[in-house]
């Protein structure tokens, strides 16, 4: 359940629904519709399960620090975390959903504070050496997190090159 002090909207970009929530007190940097379009470009590029939904949660360093520690065993804040609900490689569930229901692919949690700081300091682009607006950094983080939900990773040098190239290609579509 979403708290009353959270800004929430579902954006339908068939065949996907992007559910975006912005935690109370978190600065609005980019329009929800722009973030939804970026996430859908990543879903389309990876041939994600459809119809389906994806959650984008715009939060702060405090929450990302807590999630990073709890789920990744890492100390301190991070810019984005992804929580896929399907096994890597996607595929449809082994059950039939009720009529009109969508498979939920997962959630992407973004630290708006990190995005603003990374953009301001020229540490954006997931490479730490890109100067652009906080809005563009937010769109990148939405794409990056969505790619993780879809099974992409950057644990090896080859995976990282492929993921960075995919991110660039998706952002150039905007």
Which of these, 57, 21, 60, lies nearest to 142 by C-alpha position? 57
Whichever domain contains 70, its CATH number is 3.40.390.30
Q: How many CA atoms lie within 13 A of 99 on its CB side?
A: 0
Does some domain include residue 42?
Answer: yes
Tell the residue number behind the tokens 């007190």, with chain if given.
25
Query: How do strand 16-22 and strand 52-59 relate by DSSP bridges?
Result: parallel
The tens digit of pLDDT for each residue in 61-84 reads 999 999 999 999 999 889 999 999
Confidence band, pLDDT 50/70/90 cuts, at residue 6: confident
Instruction: Give CA–CA dist 142/124, Å, rounded.
Output: 13
Does some domain include residue 147?
Answer: yes
Does some domain include residue 95?
Answer: no
- Helix-strand-coil split of the chain, %, nearest 5: 40, 20, 40
Does some domain include residue 153?
Answer: yes
pLDDT of residue 102: 86
The tens digit of pLDDT for each residue in 121-165 reads 887 777 777 788 999 999 999 999 999 999 999 999 999 999 999
Does some domain include residue 96?
Answer: no
Query: What is the number of domains present in the chain?
Result: 1
Task: Judge contact between 18 and 11, C-beta under 8 A.
Answer: yes
Does some domain include residue 55?
Answer: yes
**Sign (positive or negative) of CA dihedral 119, 62, 1, 46:** positive
**Sign (positive or negative) of CA dihedral 132, 118, 36, 165:** positive
Does some domain include residue 94?
Answer: no
Q: Which domain holds residue 116?
A: 7-89+101-172
Does some domain include residue 144?
Answer: yes
């Amino acid at each position: 359940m979403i708290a009353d002090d959270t800004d929430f909207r579902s954006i339908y970009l068939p065949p996907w629904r992007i559910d975006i929530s912005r935690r109370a007190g978190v600065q609005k940097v980019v329009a929800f519709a722009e973030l939804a379009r970026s996430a859908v470009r990543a879903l389309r590029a990876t041939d994600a399960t459809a119809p389906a939904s994806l959650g984008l949660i715009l939060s702060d360093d405090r929450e990302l620090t807590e999630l990073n520690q709890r789920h990744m065993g890492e100390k301190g804040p991070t810019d984005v975390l992804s929580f896929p609900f399907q096994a890597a490689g996607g595929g449809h569930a082994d059950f039939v959903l009720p009529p009109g229901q969508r498979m939920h692919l997962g959630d992407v949690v973004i630290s708006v504070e990190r995005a603003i700081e990374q953009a301001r300091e020229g540490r954006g682009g997931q490479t730490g050496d890109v100067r652009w607006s906080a809005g563009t950094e937010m769109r990148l983080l939405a794409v990056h997190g969505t790619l993780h939900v879809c099974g992409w990773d950057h644990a090896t040098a080859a995976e990282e090159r492929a993921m960075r190239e995919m991110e660039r290609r998706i952002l150039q579509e905007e």
